[in-house]
């Protein structure tokens, strides 16, 4: 497909960011999430695609918009059928507290090319392009770090591992410290943390740990666009999560098998877009509002061409009916 949907997709994440950015630091994570979801859903309405949400806000009975299976876009039979994975507001707790690294994010691919991951946990290991092919989810932490250090021509003590600050990672953190690598903790935001491995100026070399499976699929789309590498394995942490896997038709073998990046996001037509809502390592975020003007910072990617664009946008809020209505509802009265 010659049409670059990434440039259209960024308008969707921008709209979600502009709507939810009003809630920064207000202690209302549900309000922020609701604004992001509404903004994203409205923006999808103007995209000429035949889209289906495969990773979204939950099942139909759990989410009024962007639920799994929902059809989005205004495309006709001539337009592309696509799978869509969304996280309208990654970091709901973060935005409620006014903390960094909140983003709005979307991955999109041809129909059947994004893994319909169950809402469970997933073990992940992610690296950038220079360490591609050097990771093994079954190897020890030390072995993986030594292989990545060799690929990057670094001493292992110069490596930086990004890992979520959770009790479940105590053993991994202990192993990292034992071999002498550096650690960068993050609170929330699996997608932003994973993408950081592919940008040298973030200082992050590898992600290790257990995070959300749906977020893993979104991350995989970006990592593939950037030429990085990723291995995963489903890691349900309760009987309820195991049951959820079975309900999706997965077997024990499916749950225990290694998932490579092409298992998560396959094909040539893969697109990714993210817009910063608060300042972060990758995106400037902190949506700026000034009367009828707002500014956003985004990244958009396309696997087919390998293009990565950073987009600084200035929005006239009074020129778009969607933005005008969202600002009236969530911004100034």
Strand order in the sheet with 160-164: 182-186, 160-164, 206-212, 121-127, 229-234, 259-260
Determine contact, residues 225/306, Cβ cutoff 8 Å: yes
92 is in an annotated binding site: yes
249 is in an annotated binding site: no
203 is in an annotated binding site: no
216 is in an annotated binding site: no
269 is in an annotated binding site: no
67 secondary structure, DSSP code: -
DSSP letters for 197-227? GG-GGGT--EEEEEEEHHHHHHHHHHHHHHT
312 is in an annotated binding site: no
At 52, is the secondary structure helix, strand, or coil?
Answer: strand
167 is in an annotated binding site: yes
What is d(CA 72, CA 53) in angstroms, rounded to the nearest whole number?
A: 7
A 10 A CB-CB count for 160 gives 16
What is d(CA 311, CA 305) in angstroms, rounded to the nearest whole number?
A: 17
57 is in an annotated binding site: yes
166 is in an annotated binding site: yes
155 is in an annotated binding site: no
At 29, is the secondary structure helix, strand, or coil?
Answer: helix
What is d(CA 234, CA 236) in angstroms, rounded to the nearest whole number?
A: 6
138 is in an annotated binding site: no
Binding residues for substrate are: 90-92, 121, 166-168, 188-190, 212
Binding residues for Mn(2+) are: 33, 57, 87, 90, 215
Binding residues are: 33, 57, 87, 90-92, 121, 166-168, 188-190, 212, 215
């Amino acid at each position: 497909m010659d049409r670059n949907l990434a440039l259209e997709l960024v308008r969707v994440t921008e709209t979600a960011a502009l709507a939810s950015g009003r809630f920064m630091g207000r202690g209302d994570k549900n309000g922020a999430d609701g604004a992001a979801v509404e903004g994203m859903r409205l923006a999808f309405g103007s995209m000429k695609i035949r889209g289906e949400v495969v990773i979204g806000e939950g099942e139909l009975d759990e989410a009024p918009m962007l639920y799994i299976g929902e059809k989005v876009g205004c495309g006709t039979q001539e337009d592309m059928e696509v799978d869509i994975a969304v996280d309208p507001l990654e970091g709901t707790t973060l935005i409620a507290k006014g903390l960094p690294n909140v983003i709005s994010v979307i991955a999109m691919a041809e129909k059947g090319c994004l893994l319909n991951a169950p809402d469970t946990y997933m073990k992940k290991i992610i690296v950038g392009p220079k360490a591609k092919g050097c990771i093994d989810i079954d190897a020890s932490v030390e072995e993986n770090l030594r292989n990545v250090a060799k690929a990057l021509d670094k001493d292992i003590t110069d490596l930086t591992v990004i890992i979520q600050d959770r009790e479940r990672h105590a053993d991994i953190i202990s192993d990292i410290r034992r071999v002498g690598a550096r650690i960068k903790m993050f609170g929330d935001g699996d997608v932003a943390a994973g993408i950081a491995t592919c940008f040298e100026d973030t200082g992050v070399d590898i992600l290790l740990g257990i995070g959300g499976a749906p977020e893993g699929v979104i991350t995989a789309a970006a990592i593939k666009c950037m030429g990085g590498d990723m291995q995963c394995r489903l890691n349900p942490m309760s009987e309820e999560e195991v049951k959820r896997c079975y309900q999706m038709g997965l077997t024990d073998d499916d749950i225990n098998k290694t998932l490579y990046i092409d298992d998560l996001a396959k094909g040539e037509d893969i697109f990714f877009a993210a817009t910063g809502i608060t300042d972060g390592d990758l995106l400037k975020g902190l949506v700026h509002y000034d009367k009828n003007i707002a500014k956003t910072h985004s990244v958009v990617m396309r696997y087919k061409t390998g293009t990565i664009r950073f987009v600084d946008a200035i929005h006239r809020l009074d020129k778009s009916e969607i933005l005008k209505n969202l600002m009236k509802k969530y911004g100034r009265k």
